[in-house]
Structure formats: C-alpha cells, structure tokens
C-alpha cells in the first residue's frame, strides 16, 4: 500500500460540503483507504483572476492503485461533482496528488511531488497539520519548514468542519 497525500480545494458553493463529499467519494473506491482529513482552511486565490476565496484541505490515504490510476479516479470524482477543467479557474472541486510515498515522477499528465506545493500556504498549512515532519523528497524540507518559509507572505485561516 502506498501512502498518499491529496490536496482538496473548492471555491464554488459550500466549500466545506464539497470537500467532505469529494473525500467520501474518494474513500468509496475499492482500492483506496482514507486515513485522515485535515481541518478546512480558507484562503485568498493565488495567481488567479477569480475573487472567490477557496476552502482547502489535505487528506491522507493508502492505496494499491498506481499513480496514474489514482489520478484517473480523482479526475472522475472531479467530473462527477461538476468540474470542467477547460472552463475557467473557479471550481466545485480540485483534487491534486501531493505525495505518493516518496516517489519522484515527471510525466506528461502527472508530476509527483506536486510541483507547486512548496509555494502554496493553502496546501502547506493543512499538510503540516497531518504530517509536520514529512520530508519533501526533492527539496529535502519538512512540511513545517516549508510552511514557515511562506507564512510571512500569505495568509490562510483555519476553519472547523
């Protein structure tokens, strides 16, 4: 079983409800065992034209699916919840593989670890909540260290479910 961390985000509708629904759908897959879901965090959109704030979380799961198969399942959850990846930046749900064990993978469809995660406080804050000492296999920095490096530049607010 691979240990995987997934980033979840939403800025359309009730973000908390969307994240919980996506997490339930992910966990309903036969080859996926959900382990834990962070608190939700609210954040301002970064590098986007939209003004609608995001609700984000990180989930930890175990799976026997290969990375490409897991990505396919995540994209099906997104599509089933109404996400159209070709239309705009606003989204009901966005699901990203952050880590897949300590795998380093660069393919046409998938980069692991997620190539932008170390620049996104809305990913690092919930990731640190779940696994503060996890070491990024490329940058060789912990979740906590990466989060502290960004703390002064961005703001996120921890929410409750």
Task: Write out the catalytic residue numbers.
Answer: 83, 91, 94, 96
Cα–Cα distance between 143 and 135 in angstroms, integer? 7
If 0-12 CB within 10 Å is exposed, 13-18 middle and 19+ buried, where does residue 159 land? middle
Q: Cα separation of 133 and 127, whole Å?
A: 10
Cα–Cα dist 26/61, whole Å: 9
φ, ψ of residue 30 in degrees (nearest 5)? -60, -35
Is the bond into 113 cis (omega within 30 degrees of 0)? yes
């Amino acid at each position: 079983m691979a240990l995987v961390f997934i980033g979840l985000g939403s800025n359309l509708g009730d973000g908390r409800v969307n994240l919980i629904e996506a997490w339930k759908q992910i966990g309903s897959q036969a080859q996926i065992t959900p382990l834990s879901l962070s608190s939700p965090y609210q954040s301002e959109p970064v590098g986007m034209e939209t003004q609608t704030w995001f609700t984000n979380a990180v989930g930890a799961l175990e799976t026997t699916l290969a990375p490409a198969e897991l990505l396919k399942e995540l994209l099906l959850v997104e599509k089933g919840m109404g996400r159209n990846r070709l239309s705009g930046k606003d989204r009901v749900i966005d699901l990203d593989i952050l880590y897949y064990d300590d795998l380093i993978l660069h393919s046409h469809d998938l980069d692991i670890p997620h190539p932008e995660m170390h620049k996104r406080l809305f990913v690092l804050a919930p990731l640190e909540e779940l696994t503060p000492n996890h070491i990024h296999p490329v940058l060789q920095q912990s979740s906590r260290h990466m989060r502290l490096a960004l703390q002064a530049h961005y703001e996120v607010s921890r929410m409750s479910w």
